[in-house]
Amino acid sequence: MYLTRGMFMIDPASLSVSIFLSLVAPIIVIAIRQTVKLHRGEIIQDLAAVFHSATEPESERLIPSFEFVKFKYFVQTATERGQRQDYKLWAWIVAIVPFFLVVSVTSYIGLLFIQGGSLPTVLGQHPSLNLCLVAVLAAFCGGYLTSLRTLTQSIQNFDLSPALLVTTATQILAGIVIAALFAFAVESLFKDVAVAKAEVVAVLSFAIGFFPEAAQRTLVGKSRLRNFKRENLSIYKFTLATPVELIDGIDTEIRGRLSDFHIATTQNLATANPLMLFVETPYGVYQIMDWVAQAQLCASVGPAAMTAMWKLGVRTLFDLERAALDGRSRHRELLEEIGKHLLGLRDEKENFSEEAVIANIQMRLDDPHVHRLRQIYMQVGERIGERHWRFLTRDGIAPRSYDASGIIFQYPNRIRIANPEFDVRPEDCLAVVGGKNNGKVLRVSGVDRTVVTVDNNVVDEEVDASSGAVRLFRITP
């Protein structure tokens, strides 16, 4: 439908719809954000009961992954670390203004154009005006749908901010401008071609509004601007991504839910914060921990090696760790089979090096995301009980146990160790099992030969063979 009248008139119905589209939508998402904040804040408070002990200072049981979750949702933290404040009301009001102006003006003009109503005479009667309005309306529809999707995802991720509202308004306006220029170019270059011109322009303009950044890259790439850096498109053939459906327990429906949090590949999942996902998704914390551990194995060894090692009992990166570093699980033939997938070893026995396979696995374990997940596993295992402390038997690389016979606990903060070969260093954490200090987790502040100084108070106790089994565990990885 084309413009037939040039006199400007106010259409109350069109004005009401445009105000609704431009004002009600951002107000609704801001209100939902506040509800999500309160609901997830309650979940975080419940989760704190698992990771924080009421009998010990919070600073001594710091879990960085959990602290990031609390910081994101403005949950009360320790006073020495400060308290992050939420956005003020005036910031939201200011951010809504550009979104309101762009959406209300464009939608109002578009509705008048659809109805064949009057438009401001300032637009003039340029012969390309009708086609330009078709392009603007189509680009606005694409941009507005994209903005709704972006705002909805921002609620799920809890990253809705005043700056995001301004960004969405800018993207809608950019799509409209590019589509208008595109329509003028089509009208100028193809004056004599009238077959389906408006339909083609409408479809392409909708795509421009829906993907404004892709449209900008395409225009720059097709241009001949001198000395302007362009993308090497041949690189994209090397950028194949592994979908999260490879992870045991994730189907297409779950992938759709995770995509709202920008998790579409196994690498995205491998680097995700498990506690954050637990707060923001309906899935259980143990389930998410297992998914992330599987994804870390896939990101490290690749999908082919990962699926091949399933039959060996290796599902996660921690299973790979146990196979190499846990004396209860390490076996030469098992390491040989694992080495075939990691190093491409042949069947000949002389080509196998147990040390090389172990060194390769150790190299894969030295990653901040792996250490973070191990810390969460250890914290949960400590709550479940000593017999489930899965990472306290990694003899030869990190946490070691020590038979505490012959040691002396001295109030307030000293431990005299009979065997000086016990590997303990400042900032390590020692878990005490048995005796009067059973269940305490002691942070080491200093070591002087056989005297270990800790930050916590201990109960006087001299441990000998007749006192019963008392063990120390170094639980810092």
Between the CA of residue 32 and those of 66, 73, 95, 153, 205, what are the distances in Å?
Answer: 24, 14, 17, 12, 31
Between the CA of residue 158 and those of 149, 280, 311, 411, 426, what are the distances in Å?
Answer: 14, 8, 40, 47, 38
More confident residue, 386 or 216: 216
**pLDDT for the residue 295:** 94
- Give mean pLDDT, residues 182-194: 72
Task: Outline where DSSP puts E strands in 340-390.
Answer: none
- Give mean pLDDT, residues 294-319: 91
- Band of residue 477 on the pLDDT scale cut at 50, 70, 90: very low
**pLDDT for the residue 353:** 82
User: Which distant-in-sequence residues (6+ apart) come within 8 Å of 199 by Cβ?
Assistant: none
Mean confidence (pLDDT) of the chain: 77
**pLDDT for the residue 3:** 39
Whether the upstream peptide bond of residue 477 has omega within 30° of 0, thus cis, is no
Express each pLDDT in 244-280 by its tens digit. 999 998 988 888 888 888 888 999 999 998 888 888 8
**pLDDT for the residue 389:** 57
Q: Are 276 and 72 in contact (CB under 8 A)?
A: yes
- Give mean pLDDT, residues 320-342: 82
Q: Are 260 and 158 in contact (CB under 8 A)?
A: no
Express each pLDDT in 355-409 by its tens digit. 888 888 888 888 888 888 888 887 776 666 555 555 544 333 334 556 556 778 8
More confident residue, 386 or 51: 51
- Give mean pLDDT, residues 342-362: 76
- Give CA torsion, residues 20, 21, 27, 28, to 10 deg: 100
- Helix 64-72, helix 25-51: angle, nearest 10: 150
Of 396, 399, 406, 405, nearest to 431 (Cα)?
A: 399
Task: Select, from the ranges 110-119, 164-173, 191-200, the one with the highest average predicted confidence (pLDDT).
Answer: 164-173
d(CA 337, CA 347) in angstroms, rounded, equals: 9
Q: Which two tokens stand for residue 25?
A: 């939508």
